[in-house]
Amino acid sequence: MEPAQLVAARIRRLADPRPALAVGTGLWVVATVVVAVVGGELRDDVLPVCVAGIVVGLLGTALFLLQRRAARRGDRGAQVGLD
């Protein structure tokens, strides 16, 4: 593989938001389980924040998937580079 192709492959891999979305949402799920099990006095304050983190992660994933589908269809308002 030529150096230019190697650099392009690395840039594509680093620019892909799917791993960040999956890891971030997964960490919020783990935090929610930990708070639900161990929570104690802070459970009422912290649990809604954890659930909101999961919801935001799922919304981000849905938005990415919708934009990628629009980009693949060639829609005019779609983002570029979401192959």
Please state the rounded mean pLDDT for residues 11-16: 83
Please state the rounded mean pLDDT for residues 16-34: 94
Q: Residues 6 or more apart from 76 whose CB is under 8 A from it?
A: none
Q: Which residue has the tokens 């492959």?
A: 9
| C-alpha to C-alpha distance for 23 and 13, rounded to whole angstroms | 15
What confidence score (pLDDT) does residue 1 get?
67
The two three-digit tokens of residue 71, written as one number: 């980009």
Closest CA to 21 of 69, 62, 75: 62
Q: Residues 6 or more apart from 51 whose CB is under 8 A from it?
A: 32
pTM for this structure?
0.78
Mean pLDDT of the chain: 88
